[in-house]
């Protein structure tokens, strides 16, 4: 039986994950560029805001903010349509709306808009539009039929606090590092941080929101990078007189986890952490408990509260709604 997805009625943040059917490695660099362009177009159309993302060869992660549903004026409506539809359809709708308004048929005009605005400010509709259009595009170019995606997408409700958002954003931006594709996330152009380092304005604005701060990108990126890049502690001096650093290795992680120790936050984020994909709700204790009460039917009858302690890392105030037992912290790819 499928587990019902936890979705808030109002504004909320979510970590969304979707995989290619049969885990096929279909996303080449060209496919990733196409998907990113489509993702940004759907973002503009839907009003759902992307904080950061990671496009991998057989799956993707996106951290999004879904605002409260709001009225969309005719001018804004047409602008958003242009992000996703061809000139022909947009021209026809523009003319139709204009005639209805001129004739005083405002209810009919709003009904026409509702066929499209119902897909705005909605998590499921955002993902549905993105996945459907990606499937159609990929299938047309590769002469195939059927869905491109494996089952439903996963999502985790994230508290809108800087601690929860920045940890989730860093976990997403470090996907390519965990996979052993790059040693530094700024080298991976198909993630929010890589795009931001390359000068992408949308990516920079998204990460600013994740950090919960205003200011210049160069200043904020330095603080975010402390979560992303592990330099390690010095353990001696080389023949050239430079400090030799411990660094971050799969073996070091294994040693800590075997001893049931806790990894520092910036190191545990470089591991595969199921809390970010299967924890259902992630944030501070008060947030998780309150969200648990709102979505009580998603959990077992004997549960009295929502907050469950996260193990394996120095998580600070963060907790989740599911007490995961198996393979919670996975080793990163060997360096």
What does the pLDDT look like over 94-119, one tens digit per residue? Answer: 999 999 999 999 999 999 999 999 99
Per the document, the length of the chain is 335
pLDDT at residue 3 tops 80: no
Asked, for residue 126, whether it belongs to a domain, the answer is no
Same domain? 173 vs 98: no
Q: Is 19 exposed, middle or buried (0-12, 13-18, 19+ CB in 10 A)?
A: middle
Phi, psi dihedral angles at 104 (to 5 degrees): 75, 15
Asked, for residue 215, whether it belongs to a domain, the answer is yes
Same domain? 78 vs 160: no
Residue pLDDT, tens place only, 206-217: 999 999 888 888
Residue 234, pLDDT score? 43
Asked, for residue 219, whether it belongs to a domain, the answer is yes
pLDDT at residue 335 tops 50: no
Asked, for residue 135, whether it belongs to a domain, the answer is no
The predicted model scores a pTM of 0.91
DSSP codes, 193-227: HHHHHTT-HHHHHHHHHHHT--S-HHHHHHHHHHH
Same domain? 50 vs 112: no
Indicate which CATH number applies to the domain containing 202: 3.30.70.1290
C-alpha to C-alpha distance for 191 and 105, rounded to whole angstroms = 46
* CB distance 37 to 50 below 8 Å: no
Asked, for residue 51, whether it belongs to a domain, the answer is yes
| Domain count of the fold of the chain | 2
Asked, for residue 207, whether it belongs to a domain, the answer is yes
Same domain? 215 vs 82: no
Same domain? 90 vs 49: no
Radius of gyration over every alpha carbon of the chain, rounded to an integer in angstroms: 22
Q: Which of 220-234, 249-263, 296-310 has the highest mean pLDDT?
A: 296-310
Asked, for residue 127, whether it belongs to a domain, the answer is no
Residue pLDDT, tens place only, 268-289: 898 899 999 999 999 999 999 9
Same domain? 96 vs 209: no
Residue 235, pLDDT score? 47
C-alpha to C-alpha distance for 44 and 47, rounded to whole angstroms = 6
Residue pLDDT, tens place only, 235-271: 445 555 554 444 455 666 666 666 667 888 888 898 8
Same domain? 78 vs 166: no
pLDDT (mean) for 17-23: 93
SS3 187: helix
Same domain? 181 vs 115: no
Same domain? 78 vs 156: no
Residue pLDDT, tens place only, 168-183: 999 999 999 888 899 8
Q: Tell me the torsion sign for CA atoms 124, 125, 126, 130.
A: positive
Residue 307, pLDDT score? 94
Residues 6+ apart with CB under 8 A from 43: 49, 50, 126, 202
Same domain? 212 vs 301: yes
Asked, for residue 52, whether it belongs to a domain, the answer is yes
Same domain? 91 vs 237: no
Domain hosting residue 80, numbered range: 74-119
C-alpha to C-alpha distance for 194 and 196, rounded to whole angstroms = 5
Same domain? 238 vs 180: yes
* CB distance 143 to 277 below 8 Å: no
Q: Which two tokens stand for residue 90?
A: 């947009």
* CB distance 169 to 192 below 8 Å: yes
C-alpha to C-alpha distance for 233 and 246, rounded to whole angstroms = 5
Q: What's the Cα-to-Cα distance from 242 to each of 235, 236, 283, 335, rounded to whole Å?
A: 11, 8, 40, 21
Element (H, E) at 319: strand 319-320
Q: What's the Cα-to-Cα distance from 243 to each of 236, 238, 239, rounded to whole Å?
A: 6, 6, 10
């Amino acid at each position: 039986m499928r587990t019902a997805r936890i979705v808030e009625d109002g504004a909320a943040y979510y970590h969304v994950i979707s995989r290619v059917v049969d885990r096929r490695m279909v996303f080449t660099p060209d496919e990733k560029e196409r998907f990113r362009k489509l993702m940004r177009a759907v973002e503009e159309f839907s009003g759902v805001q992307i904080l950061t993302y990671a496009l991998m060869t057989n799956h993707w992660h996106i951290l999004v903010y879904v605002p409260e549903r709001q009225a969309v004026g005719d001018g804004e409506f047409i602008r958003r349509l242009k992000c996703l539809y061809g000139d022909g359809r947009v021209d026809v709708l523009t003319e139709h709306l204009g005639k209805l308004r001129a004739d005083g048929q405002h209810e009919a005009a709003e009904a026409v808009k509702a066929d499209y605005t119902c897909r705005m400010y909605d998590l499921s509709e955002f993902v549905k539009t993105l996945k459907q259009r990606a499937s159609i595009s990929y299938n047309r170019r590769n002469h195939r039929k059927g869905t491109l995606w494996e089952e439903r997408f996963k999502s985790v409700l994230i508290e809108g606090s800087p601690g929860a958002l920045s940890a989730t954003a860093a976990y997403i931006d470090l996907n390519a590092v965990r996979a052993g594709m790059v040693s530094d996330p700024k080298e991976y152009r198909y993630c929010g941080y890589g795009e931001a380092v390359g000068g992408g304005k949308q990516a920079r604005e998204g990460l600013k929101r994740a950090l919960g701060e205003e200011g210049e990108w160069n200043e904020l990126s330095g603080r975010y990078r402390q979560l992303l890049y592990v330099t390690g502690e010095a353990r001696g001096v080389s023949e050239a007189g430079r400090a030799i650093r411990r660094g971050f290795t799969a073996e070091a992680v294994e040693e800590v986890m075997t001893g049931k120790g806790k990894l520092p936050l910036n190191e545990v984020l470089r591991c595969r952490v199921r809390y970010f994909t299967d924890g259902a709700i992630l944030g501070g204790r008060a947030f998780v408990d309150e969200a648990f009460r709102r979505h009580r039917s998603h959990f077992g009858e004997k549960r009295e509260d929502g907050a469950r302690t996260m193990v394996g890392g120095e998580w600070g105030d963060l907790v989740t709604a599911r007490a995961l037992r198996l393979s919670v912290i996975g080793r990163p790819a060997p360096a």
